[in-house]
Structure 1
Amino acid sequence: MSTPQDLDVYPFPGSSIRGPDPRFARLREQQPVVRVHTEGGVDAWLVTRYEDCRALSADPRLSRAAACGEGAPRVGGTMHTTPEMIISLDHPEHSRLRKLVAGAFTLRRVEQMRPQIKGVVDEMLDEMQGKGAPIDLVAQLCLPLPLVVIGDLLGVPGAELQVFEKWARAFATVDERAGGEDSLAAMGKLAEYIVGLIAEKRAKPGNDMLSELIAARDNDDKLSEPELVTFGFTLIGAGFDTTACQLANSILAMIEHHRPQWNALVENPDRIPAAVEEMLRHINLFATDTTGFPRVAIADIDVAGVTIRAGDAVLLALSSANRDERVFPNADTFDHARDPNPHLSFGHGLHYCLGKHLARLEMELVFEGLIARFPGLRLAVPEDELPWYQGEINHMLKALPVTW
């Protein structure tokens, strides 16, 4: 079926951290690949089943570069990214850049960071205990922790990166009425900030990832200057924003919506790693129910009885895929011991999340610390009074006041 369906304009309004808009369940059963109107005025194919989302995520006929270049269709509810950003590239350009930093994000390297990151978490929780309740967990823990961690990796003090946060927030905000101008302006500010950092690191290199990228640029000519700049702010933004959002959303969900599972983890903290995987699957990060990055077909693709034509825009609904009963029995139930749990929250294929091991580790250490010290953690205000950012790619709390 090629006619756009009367489903409301994408993104659908019914998405929350509790899950994707309920109509995704019907689409998975009846129209797993369907044309929708988007806020930008461009029609796009929306893919909702797990099997199709996973296969198309790794299909080279679906291009990120074609969705970001000059003249690309402007798909509403998605992020503006420039062509030289790693998240905008296809193979082999994407693989060339990814190889420069992949070694820092292997499971072995991340596990070596465990004592250091645990120390940061413990210090923040010590301060939390010292201040007493109530306290805002977004400001106290969820936002500063990933900022400090990515700052250490890149060789930038976490406190200095706090100035980066407001521009990264604006960059991740989608406002179709403004034509994305605020997002693009924020991208310019991020680039300006990174240019200054690069100048400092060139003058005084350190034992950090940003210094290594500069050396790869200056000594080995492995990336261009624009690639270096955009790589820098992409790593910082990706390294803190999604983790900060997922941490806050998961804490809220566990203490307010899944209290029996929280109590089970208090009794058996060794189950936290499996519970984190279920948080990643079940507690919806994506406000658009996709990652916010559209793709464009560069050849005809047949999927689920539909032909996606070359030039068509495509959206992969990962939140919907994570609720597919064909893969996850009782998919709408939070099961902290679910096994296996092959969720797609980190994507799949070429653009599989580089920082997946780091994000998992940060979530595990946060829940270990909170459950050990604050087993009675609870909201300090009614849930309907919690403030949320609007128009973002991810569900993001402005504050999470808690007591214990």
Structure 2
Amino acid sequence: MAIYHFSNQIISRKKQQNAIAAAAYRSGEKLVDERTNESKFYKRQVEPITHILAPSHAPKWVYDRQQLWNEVERVERQWNAQLAREINVALPKELSHEEQEQLAIEFCNDVFVKDGMVADLAIHRDDEENPHFHVMLTIRPFNEEGTWGNKQVKVKEVINGKQQIKAIHTTDWNTKEKLVYWREQWATYANRYFEKNGFPERITHLSNKDQGLETLPTIHEGVVARQLQNEGKESERIRINMERKEYNKIIIELSEVKKDKQIKERTERFIRRFTPLEKKQLRESAKSLGLFVNFENINTRRSQLDKWHARLEFSQDSVDTFKKMNRIERETDMLDQAENILEKEACRFLEKYYPNFNIEDLSKEQKIGVVETTVTQNKRLSSHEIEKVILDLEKKQIE
């Protein structure tokens, strides 16, 4: 099953972090911190696959990992300076190693590098079950001529009559909206590779809550947790995931039962059922009368025919009058037939869904009215609601 993991953190001096040490740990290379002359090296079981990707206007020295992060340490002078952004992303293990690498490079180039960042990419496969990549991104932009640009510019503003100086970021790389965009793009790029390689799996950047799911998200386990498990030791992170997977299994099963019940209710409850003969007769009536057959339309058409008949009664006898009277009679017969079908079906409907209700107390119009209201609202009416339907029908009759 494809998983989605995309985490973001800032590497900063405030947290007593060092850009050279961070790059050495992720790349598996031995790097020297030129300020302290200390060597940084972290041996890895599986050598990472690394790439440095940079925009065309960046200086050539950015492709030297040691020089790149020493230059970052040199240009950032503040005690609490942000040195780099690190993104940690789970790679789809359904893809081959080559496809995983191609996907990571394409994503970083299109999403980060084209926006002006230098991306130091490292793919880790210490655990075959958890392939992932780290990418360290420069926070300070480069000017067009290849020199370091400013993170912020200071502008003067007059607020309440007083001049104030405000710092404005020169990029939108630190905004929440940008992070959401990156997360969404990773799902888009990964899904594109799934589709291209014929896999049905898809991932989404949306949380379970945003997807309307009641399941709990699993947490990132990492290589240390898996090593503990392989050694027969207990890992808190793996234990949490096992509990969540068991919980999610129950939730999914309940969700399926709930879904089946809803489908059954939609197909069985509050649907009008006519016999094949009744359906045929209603179709013929609708076609001849030129209207949708329901009780309201039948009453409207009957009222029109009554008025027409009343006018013709005082007309001089003629062939034309005779034809019109015959038409009124035919249409009245069709309306009677349609009304009788609606009443028969209404009785069947009421007996099924309102077995304790005495339908003998209701008129034809009231029976059909209760049924049509039930179907329209798609719910079983209470005694109070049935009473209201009856009162409304009586009011219309009086009017």
More strand by share: 2
Bigger Rg, which one: 2
Regarding TM over 0.5, the answer is no
Tell me which of the two structures has the higher relative contact order, counting C-alpha pairs closer than 8 angstroms and 6 or more residues apart: 1
Q: TM-score, normalised by structure 2?
A: 0.21
Q: TM-score, normalised by structure 1?
A: 0.21
